[in-house]
Amino acid sequence: MAVGQRLLLIVGLVAYPFAMAIYFSLSDYWVGSPGRFIGLQNFRDVLGNEIFRQTVQNSFVFAGIAVALKTVLGIWLAMLLFRPLRFKRLVRAAVLLPWVIPTALSTLAWGWMFDSLYSVVNWTAIHLGIVSPPGPNWLGMPAYAMTAVITVNVWRGLPFFAITVLAGLVSIPREYYEAAEVDGAGSWGGFRHVTLPLLKPVLAVVVLFSTIFTFSDFNIVQVLTRGGPVNTTHLFATLAYQVGLSGGNLGQGAAISLFLFPMLAAIVFVQLRYIRRE
């Protein structure tokens, strides 16, 4: 692809939408109304909005817990897939299914599983004696709703994490483990002193991408809860959609979406510095 075509592609897909978002955020632009320039008024209004402050808290709780779980479970799953297994290729392909299936389709299935009347999760937990009938209302109570969206996000993002870490495991020379065994290191010692240090650059990259994907998640929350109950699962993307597109206030919707940019930029800056140092 020629340089001019690449530049045109970047401008069309990245620069132009970003510039339009900035333009909308600095005006009182509504659907059907061109609006006028109002400076930073949209940002001041958004900062004074209690729902937006709740959304900031929701986003950090959601991303922090989800990325932590994906990190721990992703390393564990990658270690399992690294071991000799029967039908290894088939198992690895099956692990990728949550990542390959369209998000909206798989989330609709999870919505049925968390349904207050027909919940498969509640039915299983009741028959195992974990909860008492009728079980929790997963999508109707704040804490349970956040647990549900985090669960679906972890389920969907885990294959990406595991397969990437698995690629890092495959690249580690076997001689390092043999040297660790000679020095008396067991399985935990080999993981701690060989696997984990050599995986740090890979983990830094995959955590970086996972953090970006998690903070900017939209489909899972929109399909499962639409930000409810009482705005307790709203993320930046879902609140911007509700205010900007559903509510018609494109100016405030753009302002909400742009708040995500400096936070992600700071996270990317810190993690890229760590990757360079490693």
pTM for this predicted structure: 0.87
Question: What gap in Å lies between CA 66 and CA 151, rounded to an integer?
Answer: 8
Q: What is the DSSP letter of 88?
A: H
> How many whole angstroms separate alpha carbon 149 and alpha carbon 154?
9
Q: Alpha-carbon distance 145 to 152, whole Å?
A: 11
Alpha-carbon torsion angle 21, 23, 28, 30, nearest 10? -50
Tens of pLDDT, residue by residue over 43-85, are 998 888 899 999 999 999 999 999 999 999 999 988 888 887 7
Mean pLDDT for 130-155 is: 89
Distance CA 195, CA 199 (A): 6
Is residue 82 within 8 A of residue 170, CB to CB? The reply is: yes
Q: Does 254 score more than 70 pLDDT?
A: yes
End-to-end Cα spacing for the chain: 33
Say how far apart CA 95 and CA 78 lie, in whole Å. Answer: 10
Q: Is the dihedral of CA 48, 49, 51, 55 positive or negative?
A: negative
Q: Catalogue all structural domains in the chain, each as residue range(s) with its CATH number.
A: 16-277 (1.10.3720.10)
Pick from 182-186, 191-195, 223-227: least confident: 182-186
Rounded to whole angstroms, the Cα distance separating 163 from 78 reads 7
